[in-house]
Each structure stands twice: as structure tokens, then as C-alpha cells.
């Protein structure tokens, strides 16, 4: 396993276990590697220590939980990530510059400023309007080639085209293009958002950069529009529809499944998918 594969798999493990007591030792042990060696590799690849990465992701995911569970007590959300009440408030405020209570009161439900260029205001629909384009579906597992991108999601379009050009020989009639995103750019620093750009392949594919994305039960929103409007739509689903829906997000990532891409017009037909229980 090369260093990039090691770090990618360790990030996957961390993101799947944010509600547990993660440490450098416990993560390194999952990969049967010295904690000192693992620490050096992780810092060299990501620019962050394992401790800083885990801490940041826990706080950011707790903020997502506040958006999705408006009636859940803030102290309980902090406890879910291993923080006492006073410690959680202190850590949260240091990271986000506002207390958890102030953050919850500031969660937008009608509109918000887009956090990356072009600067503009995103306007949300009503829960009923989102509901009209949402289905509950059982999605299969996806075996995919993937390239991990860490940075602003506004750059994803460029990286997608590079990815498609690189793996053009693997494109077949039934190929599915999948995007797996881990962070909410309205919460996480845009330069630190993680996304996997993926393409389904057959079981006999012999590339090293393969992974299997688990299927299951998902809410699926059918999107047809400009790429720049994806952020607005997802924020509306997360801020307006999902908190009222009675469903709970099952994993710390979502999927975007592309059906049609118009490079010249920057338009897509796609499904925006969120795992639920």
C-alpha cells in the first residue's frame, strides 16, 4: 500500500468513526503501522496532523448534526463526539468563532450567501417543493475507480473533466459517474473539503485506486440545471427538507450521481443522494 492509499483509507476510517474515541494510536493500529511512521505520512500528504484532522472533522460534523437535528439538545450532540458540555462549547467556538447556540440560531432556512465565487445569494425552496422531486430508493453497491480531491468544491468541474479524460478507456455504455462528498462547504473551510470523483468499473478491473461504495436506502433528489446551482439545492435539502422529513442521515457523506453532462453549457442532469435510516 503506497502512502496515498494509506492516507485515503485512514481518512475513510476516521470519517466512518467520528463518533468514537479516535486517536493516532487507534487509527494507526487499524493499518498495522507504527504510530510515528503513520503520523509523518499523514502530515506529509494532508498538511495536518492526525489529531488536528480528527478534531476538525468531529466539530464540523457536529455542526452538520445541528442543522439536521434542530430539536436535539446541543449538549447531547457534543456528547456524541466525546465532548463534555463546557469543553464542546469551547472547542466549537474556537473553531467556528461562534458558540454552538449562536451557530444553531444562525442556520439559514430561506437563503444564504454562497461561500465561494461567484459570490451570490442562494434562495431555498419550501419543503414541499423539494419533496416533489425526491424519491426514496435502494441503491446498489458501486465498485469504482476514484481520485480523491481536497479543496474547494467550486473546482470540481475542472477535476471531473481531467478525470474523464484520464480514464476515458474505461467508459462504457453502462458506466455510472459518482461523486462522494464528505463536507458541507457552508461549514468546513472550502480549502479543506474532501470529495471522491468516481467511475464504476467491472469486477475484473485491475487498477489500484478502487473502492466499493456501499448502497442501501437513500433519499434521491432529481436535479436538472446549472452546475453552480448544485450548492443552493443541496443546502435547501439539508437546511429545509431533511430536518422536517423524519429521516436521519446514516453516514457522514453523500453521493451525486451524474446522468448527463453538458461541458459547454456547464449543465448537468444528476441525482443528489443522501443515505438515510
Query: Are residues 248 and 276 in contact, defined by beta-carbon separation less than 8 angstroms?
Result: yes
Cα separation, 9 vs 5, whole angstroms: 6
How remote is the C-alpha of 259 from its chain's centroid? 20
Give the model's pLDDT for residue 1: 76
Give the model's pLDDT for residue 94: 96
- Percent of the chain at pLDDT > 70 equals 100
Residue 233 vs residues 122, 142, 221, 266: alpha-carbon distances, Å: 9, 24, 9, 16
Banded pLDDT at 242 (limits 50, 70, 90): very high
Give the model's pLDDT for residue 116: 86
Selection from 165, 145, 148 nearest residue 208 by Cα: 145
- Percent of the chain at pLDDT > 90 equals 95
In the chain, alpha helices (H): 3-16, 24-30, 35-46, 50-68, 74-80, 85-96, 100-106, 127-131, 156-166, 230-236, 242-245
Q: Which residues share a beta bridge with 210?
A: 145
With 0-12 / 13-18 / 19 or more C-beta atoms within 10 angstroms meaning exposed / middle / buried, residue 21 is exposed
Give the model's pLDDT for residue 85: 85
Q: Return the number of other C-beta atoms located less than 10 Å from residue 126's C-beta.
A: 12
Checking if the pLDDT of 262 tops 90, the result is yes
Place of cell 471522491: 196
Q: Return the number of other C-beta atoms located less than 10 Å from residue 12's C-beta.
A: 17
Tens-place pLDDT, residues 190-207: 899 999 999 999 999 999
Least confident range from 112-116, 128-132, 135-139, 216-220: namely 112-116
Tens-place pLDDT, residues 78-105: 999 999 988 999 999 999 999 999 999 9
Domain range list for the chain: 3-106, 134-275
Here the cell at position 87 is 469543553
Give the model's pLDDT for residue 118: 79
Give the model's pLDDT for residue 35: 97
Torsion angle in degrees (nearest 10) through CA of 152, 158, 162, 168: 120
Place of cell 498495522: 32
In 167-276, alpha helices (H): 230-236, 242-245
When pLDDT is averaged across residues 67-79 and rounded to a whole number, the result is 95
- Give domain 3-106's CATH superfamily: Homeodomain-like (1.10.10.60)
Banded pLDDT at 220 (limits 50, 70, 90): very high
Checking if the pLDDT of 64 tops 80, the result is yes
Give the model's pLDDT for residue 112: 96
When pLDDT is averaged across residues 219-248 and rounded to a whole number, the result is 96
Query: Are residues 174 and 209 in contact, defined by beta-carbon separation less than 8 angstroms?
Result: no
Give the model's pLDDT for residue 117: 83
Checking if the pLDDT of 132 tops 80, the result is yes
Cα separation, 77 vs 117, whole angstroms: 32
Rg (CA), the chain: 19
CATH architecture of 134-275: Alpha-Beta Barrel (3.20)
Cα separation, 50 vs 23, whole angstroms: 8
Give the model's pLDDT for residue 164: 95
Mean per-residue pLDDT of the chain: 95
pTM of the predicted structure, to 2 decimals: 0.93
Amino acid at each position: 500500500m503506497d502512502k496515498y492509499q494509506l492516507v485515503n483509507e485512514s481518512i475513510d476510517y476516521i470519517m466512518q468513526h467520528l463518533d468514537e474515541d479516535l486517536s493516532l494510536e487507534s487509527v494507526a493500529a487499524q493499518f498495522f503501522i507504527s504510530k510515528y511512521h503513520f503520523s509523518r505520512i499523514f502530515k506529509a500528504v494532508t498538511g495536518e496532523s492526525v489529531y488536528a484532522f480528527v478534531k476538525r472533522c468531529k466539530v464540523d460534523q457536529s455542526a452538520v448534526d445541528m442543522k439536521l437535528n434542530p430539536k436535539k439538545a446541543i449538549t447531547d450532540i457534543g456528547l456524541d463526539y466525546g465532548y463534555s458540555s463546557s469543553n464542546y462549547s469551547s472547542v466549537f467556538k474556537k473553531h467556528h468563532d461562534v458558540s454552538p447556540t449562536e451557530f444553531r440560531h444562525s442556520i439559514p432556512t430561506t437563503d444564504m450567501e454562497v461561500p465561494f465565487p461567484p459570490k451570490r445569494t442562494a434562495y431555498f425552496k419550501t419543503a414541499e417543493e423539494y419533496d416533489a422531486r425526491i424519491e426514496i430508493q435502494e441503491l446498489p453497491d458501486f465498485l469504482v475507480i476514484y481520485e480523491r480531491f481536497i479543496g474547494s468544491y467550486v473546482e470540481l468541474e475542472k477535476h471531473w473533466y481531467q478525470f474523464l479524460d484520464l480514464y476515458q478507456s474505461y467508459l462504457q455504455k453502462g458506466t455510472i459517474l459518482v461523486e462522494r462528498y464528505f463536507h458541507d462547504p457552508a461549514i468546513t473551510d472550502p480549502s479543506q473539503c474532501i470529495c471522491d470523483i468516481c467511475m464504476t468499473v467491472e469486477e475484473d478491473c485491475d487498477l489500484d485506486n478502487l473502492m466499493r461504495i456501499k448502497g442501501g436506502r437513500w433519499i434521491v433528489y432529481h436535479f436538472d440545471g446549472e452546475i453552480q446551482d448544485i450548492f443552493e439545492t443541496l443546502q435547501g435539502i439539508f437546511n429545509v427538507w431533511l430536518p422536517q422529513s423524519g429521516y436521519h442521515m446514516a453516514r457522514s457523506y453523500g453521493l451525486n450521481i451524474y446522468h448527463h453532462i453538458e461541458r459547454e453549457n456547464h449543465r448537468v442532469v444528476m441525482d443528489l443522494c443522501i443515505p438515510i435510516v
